[in-house]
Structure 1
């Protein structure tokens, strides 16, 4: 259980001025070489911030001890967070109805910190097999409120003399939370600062202890989750993990597609299409805050996606036994959060997959930087704007979710809505209506596809457009199946959505009407069960193929092609009718086991299974 704030290695204040541009206004570090802040002003003040009054930006940087090696090792990264504020623009109005702003009077500052993951790992349970990396990925987020409070005070300063006097508060903040090391002088901890005196580090390890009476909730009961979150931080803006529910709302069934791509450890770049126009006033932002997405939302999406596509601990042991290649490299798809034009060389030198976001459109033209781009309009729903996934190889054709994933998503959406809307007394009635899959998806050709879209609400229609239409093959097969079984095939449909049923059961078993905590924990568990279901089925296939190869050739660890049939795909929770899912499986087997896979076969193409 995490009971300490992670120690910081640097604190910095960046400024953007319409006349002088970007400026690293003030900083203080433990070591200028290890924690080089060159260019941090571009990371903490990404393009597009002029349209909002405040935002939170997370980012990753290269540690400064690479000794000239161009390769960026993932275990030598620094994570940072910065809080961006503009001065209150409404105060600049001239008393008329005009909202024009004197840009020369606009103040734009970002106050942030850098954290070394090595220091965070030292705070974790040393008896564990390895540090739980999602704690490292979210560590700097814990400083958001304190940084925001400090920056609020600084923004009230009038004149350079008052600002310089306020720097003492930044000094005190750094001295309170900095990392202090006693027995590794070779690392060269030499506290230095811009416009500040050099201090000698004390021979102690200082951390900030929270209120011991603050309750915590652990999610260790989920086989895949090993994290604890302070219950006092449980609100929609406090922890990165709460971005999962928003991500489902924004991306709909596309979440499943991005989850699969993340399991392939692809380089996935989220691009938030900026809002047109210049600076908006505080009042204008409040009127649109429900629909206007910010950089902090993208950072939450990235953390949530990294978490739900991670490998459960029990599953990791099974994967290692099945002879997975490079397990340590692909256990997680690492989040790098926001990056900008200044980070191009840094990103090019990263090996393997990652999750990142940007507001710089020019980066989309650098197709060698990423594999897939997720375009998200900052103002969703206006003018029919919807998110879309594009391959770096083909930016003209968007990738849709499978029809099966659309149905699964709509069930999850209904389960969550039912759980939050109903009290305990109404749960039993809701259970009866929502757990019968046949009542939601009648396995008759006319009701799966065209008729399905007409039965949806206006909100559901938005999500239907993000998915593939039902294929002719599936329509024919479901019609034949329904006719051949005299309607009994509805039982098979119930079995297809067992994980969705389990999700609702988790929410139903809550002591009271489920709150956001219960929903988030259930959603994480839901996706981790999907990951477990997919890989356990693949592991069984691998072991069976190896056994057959040994019996036939007498050679262990055969690299023979793995045969995956349509019924295997159904067991994995995938859509055998979708060419996207078939290609996914082939690549998944290659990435994780280094083997080729034959997916489907003749029978699948003839719909005879």
Structure 2
């Protein structure tokens, strides 16, 4: 979909259904229509449309995937009624199925307003079911087209797979497969459709803070990501869509990636439940069948069933959202004290943001705040931009948080980093640290070049490498159109900037990885444990003979290139935009080289060296 002044027509639907939750009978499929007999609705859509805990909310919007060929959208309404037999509540859901060939969600969101209206009318008056027949008559798709559309999703080229994410923000006159999403500001009249899930991008940044970056990296590695949440699930479904979009591989990278690289988009499954466990377990098959590379196709989904969070074999990354994550921020105190989501890996390993993520996040938020208020330069502190949070178009300004709260989600500064920074500050009278800050800020600003005014030079606090006290240059201010105060125009530019930022960050990471993979970088034999393992001199001759044999076997199989381990230094980490002090980012760089380029890498973080000897 593109940013258009006039929204395109709604996509035709392949199925329409009405579900009622009865206290005695449970889920009941009261009414249904399908364009083909092959579309199974019974005992499927009832559970996908009504996830656990939905009875605790008045209204909700649920996204789901049906049989891999259709996207589902259902509008849920819970009405209080005077009927003791129904426990004084009538709960109904009106939903549709749309072929996934139309996009990640089949563009089903274009039916949101109609489905919500139908659900409310039927919840208020059950005799209004005839409205469903009228809606089906005017929006259904012929059976032949349904079959063709469902089959089409399996015949997409790699380019088509990439284009689905980038086309969201592509202006009408540009190619939908632009690698960096867009190269300039959105047209003044352009805006996203009202119910598009990409409207949750700014809320995603507000909810996760710096944690959005480790989550983005997990998505880039095509991990299986499960978001555990409470009802309502509408916001969580938006997060699923948004993270899938942000981790798209820009089409400009197709030429430098091998054919064996992971899929160019992370599969969004949206809402899943206990009945989807076989579907999630099926993703284990490629993992178990391949003992060399454990990278599956990957997916991202959300659930309200806590039992899925307990089954660690189903997911690689578990994200637990706080109870009130979907509640809008109403005051500064609530925003400052709000709990953060938690991200865990297998065996309960807590995943935190790096110090580099924190500085990058601060810079990005300050830049987005300047974009939202071009005529008013933000103040030097993080709290200065907090008032923007109350605006519906700008959940982009960070609230002032304490060091204790930051410690909950950000890795502490390593002793090596402290030693190095302290020594360099003393040796250069602070100049080296200032120079490093300038280089880092310039690299971050380049990711938003031609979209947002450049990040001002850091001069105050080291933790906040990108304070927003400097007024944007006049040339940058000219990029704002006269309707800069229009909320919809500001929102469109903000969402465009967020997607472009992450796509360019992806380009930066993979481009550097491709250069290292194809360059004549120093290599080590993979079986030597990157040259770090101790070897007994008495065993040298035997090991050399074994290595010669292994080399011959690899050459015979055409795998000699993959058998070499590349040395990757801290300068490469810095070029990728990663934390040069973080062992977690070093592991991510190793994973990128393995997953995308089939190369093994020995990554060295930055350390303190004296006369060529590494001390720490």
Please confirm whether the aligned pair reaches a TM-score higher than 0.5, indicating the same fold. Answer: yes
SS for the counterpart of 1:318 is coil
- Give the gaps of 5 or more residues in structure 1: 63-75, 94-100, 121-134, 190-214, 275-293, 435-454
Say whether the 8 Å CA contact 1:58–1:299 is kept in structure 2: yes
Alignment of 1:270 with 2:227, yes or no, is yes
What are the Cα deviations for residues 93-116 of structure 1, in whole angstroms up to 9, with x where unaligned? 9xxxxxxx9961201111111112
Distance 1:103 1:604 in 2: 70
State the partner residue of 2:424.
Answer: 481
State the partner residue of 2:180.
Answer: 224
Alignment of 1:331 with 2:264, yes or no, is yes
Say whether the 8 Å CA contact 1:138–1:303 is kept in structure 2: no
- Distance apart, 1:478 and its partner CA: 1.6
Say whether the 8 Å CA contact 2:509–2:577 is kept in structure 1: yes
Distance 1:153 1:86 in 2: 12
State the partner residue of 1:178.
Answer: 140
SS for the counterpart of 1:400 is coil
Distance 1:546 1:471 in 2: 28
State the partner residue of 1:157.
Answer: 125
Match for residue 582 of structure 2 among 578, 592, 596 = 578
Distance 1:602 1:419 in 2: 35
| Inter-CA distance 608–223: structure 2 relative to 1 (3 Å threshold) | farther
| Inter-CA distance 570–187: structure 2 relative to 1 (3 Å threshold) | closer
- Distance apart, 1:476 and its partner CA: 1.1
SS for the counterpart of 1:561 is strand
**Equivalent residues in 2 for 1:302-451, closer than 5 Å:** 302-319=240-257, 324-327=258-261, 329-350=262-283, 352-380=297-325, 385-391=339-345, 393-395=346-348, 397-423=349-375, 426=376
State the partner residue of 1:205.
Answer: none
Say whether the 8 Å CA contact 2:568–2:602 is kept in structure 1: yes
Distance 1:239 1:417 in 2: 22
Alignment of 1:510 with 2:443, yes or no, is no
| Inter-CA distance 545–34: structure 2 relative to 1 (3 Å threshold) | farther
What are the Cα deviations for residues 405-449 of structure 1, in whole angstroms up to 9, with x where unaligned? 0111112222222332442xx45xx69x79xxxxxxxxxxxxxxx
Alignment of 1:254 with 2:211, yes or no, is yes
State the partner residue of 2:470.
Answer: none
SS for the counterpart of 2:413 is coil
Distance 2:401 2:146 in 1: 61
State the partner residue of 2:73.
Answer: 81
- Distance apart, 1:581 and its partner CA: 0.7
- Distance apart, 1:588 and its partner CA: 1.7
Say whether the 8 Å CA contact 1:311–1:331 is kept in structure 2: yes
- Distance apart, 1:368 and its partner CA: 1.5
Distance 2:351 2:481 in 1: 40
Count of residue pairs the alignment pairs up: 487
- Distance apart, 1:504 and its partner CA: 7.7
**Equivalent residues in 2 for 1:83-122, closer than 5 Å:** 83-87=75-79, 89=80, 104-118=87-101, 120=102
| Inter-CA distance 111–216: structure 2 relative to 1 (3 Å threshold) | farther
Distance 1:187 1:141 in 2: 18
- Give the gaps of 5 or more residues in structure 2: 3-7, 152-169, 284-295, 326-333, 382-397, 454-478, 525-550
Distance 1:226 1:137 in 2: 22
- Distance apart, 1:367 and its partner CA: 1.5
After TM superposition, the score normalised by the length of structure 2 is 0.71
What are the Cα deviations for residues 486-545 of structure 1, in whole angstroms up to 9, with x where unaligned? 322212212213353243862343325371111110111111111011011000001104
Say whether the 8 Å CA contact 2:15–2:140 is kept in structure 1: yes
Distance 2:614 2:41 in 1: 59
